[in-house]
Each structure stands twice: as structure tokens, then as C-alpha cells.
Chain A
């Protein structure tokens, strides 16, 4: 086999590379611009750096042109994302987030698809106070966004067994190990003393990352079969826990997944991670680090839309990357072990864990925790947090687990659940319980269409057809994003919508229910009327023609409605 030369693609570095290099390890002029009283925003360069600190500037797009006319700057506000490895938070932490949401943000908490908390609508003058409160509660926002490794995801039900607990510990270790080491975060937000003689751009301050960090964001997730709730194949590194004889034997390692693409640019595409081997638990941190450094060294730093690890893997070839990894490790990965995934969703309601504790999985529509007029979700959870002795788990499907409830506490928690009518989603269709949407309008600067605000309304209409066809309890995954970046991992949903313009979506079909196959473009640029017309036909055919136990995504491929996507590289064919 011809040896592939290991090098990064040619081309001048993108502007973001300059910003990183000149930033003195993520400092830039953030300390000053965050204090400037004349603008609620910050300059673009600093905003790029702000991401590494877990926050970025957005503006309320509903009023953007209106304010422009009024000679007011955009209604700037910050999004702040909190890392919670594996999505675990204590009741005390929950109460802090709840208070911050009401005091400084828009009164709501968003649980994200990467098991993190997100606050929206924080004004510049309140960002520092918010950051301090978050850190005061032993959480951090550092590297929640930016060209670094993000929150490490992990199946959130670790206390179901010893194995889960162990897996969660590994997730945390990886997450901590790959955190940036720069003191900038502590100086800017926590008023830490400046470290004397802060090194300039010589790599000393960031032993793993170096002065320009990664070419792009980097994502790691760990799944525990049979649940693939973390969409393990959508990750840059997907780890599949291998349990043998009730014990964690190690992890299958998959690399090079990622959802994002750009409309109209066929050189960009979603891709699924591919399994390259197996490692033992105590090797997994090293494996993750070494894989990440390959991307650090050979990723595309010239074109940001081609900078994700998946393109590096596809360019160099899976084998080459594996060889390089083994060279860096100094040892060889083991043979991948067998595994089996059944689903990507959450299991709602009460489950008993192995150690006599209980877990309640709550359905949170759109991951949005707030008080509705007739549904006081946020208040209910606050009241529970006040008495809860276990912890909270954010799931990858934007739901919430009230975990580790002792038998003694269970009646009290149950009473609160009943009092506030907190729902396990059973009153909804299985379709709605399997729905996911990204934030999109009005806060996301990249959104071309509605998602979180619109999907529930669209579901109201689809549910009528679901009922007509007797599909109320059939699990079908449906996702919507405001643009093709794929924050809600849309191309892994059996029915997916990606915004093209206000009210217009591209529709994808045929992804696998268990997250092992991408969907295919089915209709382009269609509005609600056409969406409903299409679904009316599809759902009724599915109800009548499906095989026993056949999932919707498999069905549309079998009967030839869309072609199967066997690899990201033929996504556009």
C-alpha cells in the first residue's frame, strides 16, 4: 500500500487561526472589551476567543432590523454554556443554575444535546457575575465552546449498574485531562492574579493544545450499549463501552464522525464515526489525547468548513490515521469487540437502579426548562432540587433524569412530580418524545429558519396523522435544525428538517433508529403545507406496509422512497 504522506492541507491559515495565535492563550482584549460601557457587544476577534471561555455573543434577531432603523446596536446578549461531563449535576448546582437563569438570563434553562446547561440572554454587564456564580458552584464554562475538546458525553444513567458509574468516571477523566490549561479564564472571570511572566506563544502554557489549539471543535462521547443515546457515531471520537461478565472490559474506539455541512457545498457532508479497534479502560485517556493531537497536527486550518476531524480522517484514510495513532501510542489497539445498539432515545418514567435507588426520567420538550402558563416545570424542578438527595442527569436527548432517589425519599419526590404535573411524556405520542430541535431563531446567529419555537407546533399537526394511522406508540425519531450545522444531530433522525429560509426546510429520510445510518435528502426547500402532504402519504404507507418491528427509517429505504446512505462520502449522491 502506498504510504500516505502525513501533512495538513495546503492553504493560508484562516482568520481564526490568526486570532488564536495572537490571543496570548485566549486573552485577547476580552478583559477590556467586556468592560466597555458603550456597547453591549464585543468585537469579532474577542467573540471568537469568548467561545473558548464557554460563551458567545448573540443578538435577538427578531428585533435586528427594527433596531438598526432605530439607530440602536443589535440587542446583544451572551449565551453561556456550562460543562457538565456526562451531564451530572448536584441539586445545589441545579439551584444555582435555576437562580442564574431567572436573575441574569431570559428566565429559562436550556438542556443541550451534549448534556450541558445553556443560559441565553445574559447581558454583558452580568456575564462576569454569572461566570463567578457558576464556578462558585464547582462547575465551569471553560472550553464549553471553541476549537477544543468539548463536554464529554456519556450515557447518563450510570447508577443503574457499577459499570455505568465506572464509565462516567472515565468520561470525567477524559474531560478534565483535555481541558485547556491557560490561566486566562481565571484572570478574566475570577479575578485571579495574573501568573507572572505568562509565556507568550511558545507552547509552554498548553502542553497538549499548543498556542493555536485545534483547527475546529472536537467532540467525544461514550455510549453504553444497548443505548446509543449519545449518538456515538456523530462524535469525533465515539467510545463504545464493552461490558463482559458484568464488568467494564474496555472501549471500542470509533473516529471521524460529525454532523455539520454547508448547504450547496458538496465537499461538506455529515459523516459517521468508524470503529478502529479496542482499548482497555486505563488506556482510554491516552488514546483520546493522541487521537486529538493527530487532528491538532494534520487538521485543515485553512478552511473552517473543512476543518473537522472527519475530513482529516477521510483525507488521510482510516488506516493511516490508525497507524499514526499506534505510532504515537507506542502500542497497538486491540481487535474491536462485538456490541449491539437498539435505540437512541431515553426511557421515560421510574426505573429502579441496582443499588436500591430510583431514577425518574422526565420528558422536557425542546430541552427548555421554564414555567409555562399551565405547566410550572421550572418551579417544580426547583422544589424537587430543594429536597432531593441524589443528583440530576441531563440526557443527550435534552431530557432530565432525577437520579439516585432513595426509597425513603421516593414518596416525597413522587408527590412533587404529581403536584406540578411533571410528565414522563406518556401523554404524548412516541414521536414527540423522540423529537429534538436546536435553538435557532431568535438567538442563533446562523439560523436560517425556526426550529425550537416551531417544531412543537408542527408536531401538533403531525400527531393528528399519527393518530389517524394508529402510530401513537411507535417510536420514530424526528429532528429539526435551523441550519445545516446540525446542533440537534438532524441527519441521524428518521425524519429530519434543516432550515433553508424562514418557513422553508430541506427534508431528510432514512436514518437508522439506533443512530447507525445517515438520512438522505428527500425534498428540498418545502414549507409546512408540503411537509404535511408528504408525511400524510408516508405515514399512512408505513402503517399499512411495514414489516413486523420495522423502523420507519428502514422502511423508507426498503420500499425505495430514498436511497440508503452507506457512508458520509456518498451522502450527496
Chain B
């Protein structure tokens, strides 16, 4: 074929030159030339890409990946989303069709092209499976979406006042977050078929147009995008805790539970803090203001009086000092001894006298500063004198329940609220009830990372793992699963979980079920201790599965135990030995040696408290 003005983009002059040159070229020369030209074009494309492209306009290449999210109550939107997915695939797009409930919101940052198909229910409310995603998008946590192109198909019914409200909300919000609407929203009435088909045609047309226009340039961009981002250096530590913003704080226990277990999500954005699954997070809590008031009232102090709180002479009001800087919920022998000179009460003098250690210990148990102040007046003490003998508020540690690989810049915790009655008064664990009762979304908590090198996933992603974590002990295993999912590890995994009641206390139930379905978690056994007449604990489930469990150990599985130290960890330890004894045909001593060997090989790791 001869080049002409009509069949090419060249001018007459250029064509003359080309037509002179081309017939003289050997095939090898032609090949070389086309490579040269392509490379030269590429250099231009890279330059273009580096220029700040605000959004996917005409010049930016379009990825072939399209995410279709649906929110549907009665299945209409789902059906349409699936149809859209099919049509996209037929046209060579990689379409992922997901319910909003199954979509991990943190993935949104990676999505470039998004189709939303959503109905409206209630009185203008999102369908059930869209609620959490809807709330996420409308919350402060919603990411910037400058890289996103989207289009919304809204289903509804014009006989309702709030016609297609949810679709409208998504449409508006995605734009607010920086997304580009590449095709206008379509609102459908109950007879949605036609309008929906039109929308799909429009969307497909738009996407195909751009895909064609940009074919060829796409692979180059990804190479540029991979350039590493500079990370801020960590300046925060236990000494200088980072004020982490609270993104989420929910009670994981359903109605009617005896328990309250808080799931906290904190932002580490800008802190430079890093952690690995298995590490813990420290929190500096505040005392219960009601308890502080009771202490101040008891002593008839002025809450605004200034006191010095450390050797450097930092000052605070008395109330602030008692609330944030000192421990007032624990009575120790040392504290009682230091209190004694400030009281004329002979009972106290007697209690701290040598020889009465047992009585003192008995008295201190389950009591706090307020009890002592009430029991041993009258006091001859200025506020500063009492402050000076109190302990600094200690931070509390919590096993981290998330993985940075799944939630960059976030850390999640699982905190069991401690409440109990002692000596006629309801007592509250300082940190756990601080988080449960007084921390709102948007507040900040002073935190630091406490690494734990002895509770780590095996280096080899194929190594099987057995995780035993009743109650809040399950926290680090959520981090493990997130990590293994995000890194695509193939090792088998087995979780033993237990708590009081199936209905209300199955912590993170839906997440485990999803991981079982996707195969990230291989198997799971549960022990709900108060649903049956006889108590069932995790170790009973281990016993029931002793043969398989020993088989896993022989395959080299790593065993992790997390949670209550006093009872659970001890009993689980015994059970492990018994299982090895029974299934391995060993003596008690041999079984114990087997466990010791596992410990040496770091195949038996514990995080108990």
C-alpha cells in the first residue's frame, strides 16, 4: 500500500519523503525503526503522565479494570450489576462485581473505574447491604478519590417521596470526594429495564471510546507509578505518644450479652509508626471523672488548686492531675505505707505495722485510693502531699488486631471492658472503660507501638498455623488473617475461638466466615461456654480434634495462644501436652520435651495477659 494524504495523518511533503525512504528499507531496518519510534513516543508519554493530571481526561490511559458495586435489597440492583459485569467482560474489560457489603472500603483507593448500582429503601435509606459502605463513604474516613471515574445507576420508585435518594447520595458524594462522573447518573422507576439498559449502553460506549483512544500507553504508566514515596521518620514513642484519631468505636457484643468488647480503629496517618501483626499498642488512659470527683469531695479539696506533677515542675490543676497523670484505682502496700504518716487513724498505723503484711494485703485487694481515704480519716494532708506519693498512670497494652498490609495507616484493637463489683462498689477498669464509655469517634488517644518479636507469623508463608484465642485473645489472629490474605500466603490455618454465647459473643464472626469461604482460614472450631448445660472451652474442642491437631503439629505447624493467662493459657498448655502424649504415643516427659522443643523452634508462641 502506498502512503497518501487520504489514508494517513501526514502532510504532502512528509508523504513524499516517506514514500522515497520506505521502499529502500530492509525488513530489519523497518523493525528497528518502528521500535525506535515507539520508544521515542514512550518518552513523551512518561513526560505527560508526570505532569499533574487532575483526573482521567482524554490523555490519561484507562485501566481495563472496572469495579461494579451494588447495593440491593430485593435483588434488582444485583441482577443489573451482574448484567453490567457480563457486558463489560464481553467487551474485554476486567469487571469485578461485588456487593457493597463484600467490598473492603480500603480497596477504594485502588479502584480507577467504578460503577455503582444501588436501590433505595425504607424512606430514602440505602438497602441493608449498602449501609456500611454508605456510612463509610459519608464518614470522615472516606479517602480522596481524585483518581476515580464513576457512574451511578439508581433504582427506585417514584411513588416514594425520596425517589432514588441513595443513588443520588452516592453520586453526589463520589464527586465531593474528588471522583469524576464520566457518565451521568440515571434514575430508574420500578420498570427499570429500559432506563437501565440505556445507562449501560452509555457507560459501555464511554469506556470503550476511551479505552481505544488510550490503547498502547497504559503499560508505561504503571512503571512510573511504582516510584517509592518518601516515608516520614517516626518521632513518636512511649515517651512521646502519638495522638491517634479514633475512626471507629463499636461494641462487638450483640444485645443481651454479659460482655462488652470494643472494636477500636485508630488512625496512624502522619505518625510514621509501623507495626507487624503480633505487636501490641500502648494507650495512656484517663481516670473516670466521677471517681476523681469522689476523691476530691471526700477530701474537701479545691479541684482547681495547682499541683506539681513531676520532677521538672510541670503544673496542673488538681483535678487534671488526678484524671490524667496518676493511678488512683490500685492500692499497694507501698502506697498505704506512704499514706500512713498523713493520717492520725490508728487502724491504718496498725495495718502498716510490721507483722501485719497478710492483713494489709487482704485489705488492699479489690480496694482503691478512695476506699483508703474513706476508711482512714481524718487526714492531715495537702493535695500536693497525696499527689506526690501516687504512681504515674501506667499505659495499657492491647494486642493489635489489624495488619498494615490490609489497612495502611490504621491500627485496630479489641478491648474487653472490665467491670466488677468489689466491697460494695462497682469498679471499672481504667483504660478499657475509658475506651468503652468516654471515647468518641474523632477524639484522639495517646498511643505507642510495643513490638513483640515473640509472637510473629512464620517467615515461610506455607507453614501451617494453629491459633487459639478465646475472648479478646482472638485479636492478633485477625491481624494474622489480614496479613496472610494481603500477602497471598498459602499456608493452612486453624482457629480455635470461644466465648460465652454464640448469638452475642462471636467476635468478628462475619469476618471469620468470609475468610473460611475464601480459604484464607482453613478451619475453625468454636466453644461457647454458656450455651450448653456443661461448659465447653477451647481446650475441649482441641481434645475432640486431637488426632488432626497432632497431625498438623507433625507437619510443622506453629501454635499460637493468646488471651487470659491465669486460667485459659494454663489449661490449653496442659491440653496440648495431653494431646501429644495421646496421639504421639509418648510418655508425659516425652510430650513435655516435645513442647519444649516446639518452643525452642519458635513453634509455640504465646501472648497472654
Contacts and interface: CB of A to CB of B under 8 A. Distances in A.
| Most B C-beta atoms less than 10 A away, residue of A38, A63, A125, A504 | A38
Q: List the 10 closest A-B pairs by CB distance, nearest first.
A: A264-B190, A71-B508, A71-B510, A72-B509, A65-B131, A72-B254, A70-B252, A73-B509, A525-B159, A73-B510
Given A40-B502, A501-B123, A502-B122, A71 B157 contact: no
A39 interface: yes
B524 A38 contact: yes
Interface stretch (B354-362, B428-436, B511-519, B570-578): B511-519
B101 interface: yes
A549 interface: no
Interface string B128-166: 100110000000000000000000000001011000000
A61 to B, nearest CB: 9
A315 interface: no
Given A39-B513, A265-B190, 7 more contacts: A38-B516, A64-B128, A66-B255, A70-B252, A70-B254, A73-B510, A73-B513
B441 interface: no
Interface string A499-536: 01111100000000000000000001100000000000
Interface in B487-507: 502-504, 506-507
A243 interface: no
B353 interface: no
Contacts of A73: 506, 509-510, 513
| Most A C-beta atoms less than 10 A away, residue of B252, B506, B507, B516 | B506
Interface in A186-214: none
A71 B128 contact: no
B440 to A, nearest CB: 16
A265 B101 CA distance: 28
A525 B253 contact: no
A75 interface: yes
Contacts of B251: 70
A501 B160 contact: yes
Contact of A68 (B101, B253, B506): B101
A69 B524 contact: no
A247 interface: no
Nearest to A69: B250
A525 B251 CA distance: 36
B157 A264 contact: yes
A487 to B, nearest CB: 17
A236 B394 CA distance: 74
A524 B250 contact: no
B532 to A, nearest CB: 9
Contacts of B286: none
Contact of B526 (A37, A63, A75): A37
A71 B509 contact: yes
B265 to A, nearest CB: 12
11 contacts: A38-B526, A68-B128, A70-B252, A71-B252, A71-B511, A73-B506, A73-B513, A125-B531, A264-B157, A501-B160, A525-B159
Contacts of B159: 264, 500, 524-525
Nearest to A76: B503
A416 B251 CA distance: 47
A65 B128 contact: yes
A37 B511 CA distance: 15
A70 B250 contact: yes
Contacts of A504: 123
Contact of A501 (B122, B263, B525): B122
Interface residues of B, number: 35
A3 to B, nearest CB: 34
A7 interface: no
Nearest to A62: B255
A327 interface: no
B250 A63 contact: no
A502 to B, nearest CB: 6
Contacts of B510: 68, 71-73
Nearest to A64: B128
Interface residues of A, number: 28
A204 to B, nearest CB: 35
A461 interface: no
B417 to A, nearest CB: 14
A502 B255 CA distance: 23
B513 A38 contact: yes
Contacts of A75: 254, 503
Contacts of A38: 509, 512-513, 516, 524, 526
Interface in A43-83: 63-73, 75
A445 B511 CA distance: 23
A340 to B, nearest CB: 40
A69 B122 contact: no
A142 B321 CA distance: 70
A573 B585 CA distance: 81
A63 B525 CA distance: 26
Contacts of A125: 531
Contacts of B263: 71
A63 B250 CA distance: 15
Contacts of A65: 128, 131
Nearest to A265: B190
Interface string B282-312: 0000000000000000000000000000000
A37 B495 CA distance: 14
B513 A68 contact: no
Contacts of A525: 159-160
Interface string B242-271: 000000001111110000000100000000
A314 B432 CA distance: 66
A88 to B, nearest CB: 36
A503 B161 CA distance: 13
B414 to A, nearest CB: 11
A123 B255 CA distance: 16
Contacts of A37: 502, 525-526
B190 A70 contact: no
Interface string A255-266: 000000001110
Contacts of A66: 254-255
A544 B30 CA distance: 101
A75 B160 CA distance: 29
| Most A C-beta atoms less than 10 A away, residue of B159, B191, B507 | B159
A39 B191 CA distance: 37
B122 A68 contact: no
Nearest to B159: A525
A249 B448 CA distance: 89
A39 B123 CA distance: 31
Contact of B253 (A70, A501, A502, A503): A70
Interface string A261-283: 00111000000000000000000
Contact of B131 (A68, A70, A263, A501): A68
Interface string B175-207: 000000000000000110000000000000000
Contacts of B128: 64-65, 68
A194 B159 CA distance: 53
A38 B498 CA distance: 11
A318 B137 CA distance: 55
A342 B132 CA distance: 53
Contacts of B511: 71
Contacts of A69: 132, 250
A502 B123 contact: yes
Contacts of B123: 501-504
Interface in A111-132: 123, 125
Nearest to B531: A125
B509 to A, nearest CB: 5
A425 B586 CA distance: 75
A67 B256 CA distance: 12
A75 B257 CA distance: 13
Contacts of B507: 71
